Structure 1
């Protein structure tokens, strides 16, 4: 097996953390995308190392009982989602097991009990936001879609089954309009051209849509005329914007956004709280699953209304504001100045006056607060909490910590540190499926201080 492109017969026996099928051949671990446990496949090896290799499916010799027909004709090429070939029930099983195994292997938790995963009410059409890279084909047509896995080859699509179906009417037509306008497309190799991404965002509860062109320049020829035509054509489109990003990087949004016509934000109602969302505002992409998570949290917490809570990575107040209505006082901490300003605006618009927001790092703000929180809510990015945050928590010692995680491996790592020397004990763990058709899974963990 020393040469690449060798064909081997492989039994898929597991799924790794990246969602790829796993098999073994001649004592070497083989990772194969687009497979599932129980598949028997003919595989071409294309990346060989000493202890492992990657392969590509050439033929499915025997289909797994967990294999289903994908909903999308480019599902095996597009990098937008990876699991359309796996039955919804088995996807949930894999995600549940992923959390259990991470807690055992990384966290070293032996007798850990994980509640059954809460499924998403929509396994397709759940994404309320899409950002599509743009390119020109060799024939001069505008392409938009997602990059093929592990490449920068753009897979052109006209609709996407996991995004809100109300956004599908835009994609094909907008590409044609860009062609007609002869706007230039950014080339990431030469750094020439203007348009980089087409971004669409919809309010799940309101149906309001924002269309944003990410461009290297704030000036796009005839954009206002075209934007007015779009507003006339699409009844639920309420605003067209330009986001300026001239950086030579793979960052999607730049720091400046300009409203061309219509509104600079859309309205969304989440857990009976009204929010205003801009194109680049961080907000959960699966609105209904986020509400399921919050319902589960409240059911398990059984709040009395007298609690003081700190939301340590509060963003625009997505969880802070619904919780503030159920406790005596809420505090939000967030490193992003723009997010904090939006959180303050959202609190005022909803007449929630028992909440205070601070801009800064959690490790700096938390110990300086003039309150002793009963509950600290953690909802960090995928990389998890910094060591300074965990050290601060162990020093402040709130009675209850609620950790919301989108990455089982960093969750297990952080829980091990928080619970070190039996300072804290895990009460319950609730997985929630935020991202059907992908390997990603969300989970909530309650951790009690041991007195």
Structure 2
């Protein structure tokens, strides 16, 4: 049975929201103003999920998608909106979530940069020699030959990926601004390494180096960073550079800084020149090795790095911590980490978040601190995701 639905808004996951007999219905690939005929594919108590069968009327907000795969691969859900409309959506989403879950009524700006050809890394699945992304919330492969949000050299490499003769597995492709490539393959197949007229600096198979290096070198705001195949690094260097500028602007100078979830040392190294000491903690050993290398690469000596769980290694830092920088995963800060942060009583916390809901939760738990500045970052253009930089000061120091 088909139902006619008027789409009124987008939810936080960028599904269109409408109503059927007073029940909320979420509709993928629908935009506010669309009128659609839908088939119900999931039903819970008061929530329905519908699949578009046909359009009765198209929203005036719709534009021709910049990607032919966007409606199926589940990555760029907002590719059927004008870019400025996607920023408006992210601003409203961020403000709504922080008000709903954090009781914060804010006007939050969104920092932008390149919105296509910006990703310096993509991860692809391979099934029966077909290469692509998984459709959202499924294991159904959407075969692709190009990704419009990936940097051009990555798409050049995609032309040769089938020559590796991988039947089943996954491939991560990372590049830098000088068009060097680092390839990470996970598969049980015996692969072939073809001749490729591109600058491939390293190929890693199942955590073993097959050719070249296990890392690639990125440059952001004049700082060099070696990034290993399994280390985290921001995928949008244009927005990353602006994030560094914000960090430099708001961080307390001449301080002892603790960089939690420090990765390859990116954030801490970018501010070290104005600080007494920077201490980094990270659980991925390759990332810590990169961080030490990156300090040497940039001639920075006032840093120390520790590999392990924060609650177990924090006691090795003897100096009083003045500032904490934290960039946790989407799940946010765990209970133990928050307990450690509160015991350290830093003057300032700079919290970089990739999930507004866990950010709102954690801001409440950091109840000894007040929010002084916040901005959104469009790190993942045309997706429903929005990054965020928050600056908090200890309440007991306020005059």
What's 2:187 paired with? 215
**Aligned-pair distance for 1:268?**
1.3
Paired residues, number: 396
- What's the counterpart of residue 396 of structure 1? 344
Corresponding residue to 1:201 among 160, 174, 178: 174
Structure 1 residue 350 displacement after superposition: 1.7
2:305 to 357, 362, 366: 357
Structure 2 CA distance, aligned partners of 1:212 and 1:418? Answer: 38
Deviation string 1:96-150 (CA, Å, 9 cap, x unpaired) is: 12221111111223xx32431111x2111111111211122xxxxx310111222
Partner of 2:86: 91
Q: Does residue 1:55 correspond to 2:47, yes or no?
A: no
Aligned to 1:248: none
Q: How far 1:292 sits from its partner (Å)?
A: 1.1
State how far apart, in whole Å, the 1-side matches of 2:373 and 2:72 are: 38
- Following superposition of structure 1 onto structure 2, how do residues 48-447 of structure 1 map, counting pairs within 5 Å? 48-109=43-104, 112-119=105-112, 121-136=113-128, 142-175=129-162, 177-179=163-165, 185-186=167-168, 196-203=169-176, 205-216=177-188, 220=190, 223=192, 226-227=193-194, 229-230=195-196, 233-234=197-198, 236-242=199-205, 244=206, 257-301=207-251, 303-304=252-253, 306-366=254-314, 368-419=316-367, 423-447=368-392
Partner Cα distance (2:103, 2:299) in 1: 45
The whole-number CA distance in structure 2 between the counterparts of 1:206 and 1:317 is 21
Length-normalised TM-score, structure 1: 0.84
Moved over 6 A (4+): none
CA deviation after TM superposition for structure 1 residue 387, in Å: 1.2
Partner of 2:35: 40
Q: Which residue of 2 aligns with 1:250?
A: none
CA distance in 2, matches of 1:212, 1:340: 19
CA contact (8 A) 1:8 1:42 kept: yes
Question: What residue is the counterpart of 1:31 in the other structure?
Answer: 26
Q: Please say if residues 98 and 360 of structure 2, whose CA atoms lie closer than 8 Å, have aligned partners that are also in contact.
A: yes
Instruction: Report the Cα offset of residue 368 of structure 1.
Output: 5.0
- Structure 2 distance, partners of 1:201, 1:76, is 25
Q: RMSD of the alignment, in Å?
A: 1.7
Q: 1:317-338: CA deviations, max 9, x gaps?
A: 0111111122121111112222
What does the per-residue CA deviation read over 1:169-204, in whole Å, with 9 as the maximum and x for residues that have no partner? Answer: 2213321x245xxx5x23xxxxxxxxx01221101x
Q: State whether residues 199 and 213 of structure 1, in contact with CA within 8 Å, keep that contact through their aligned partners in structure 2.
A: yes
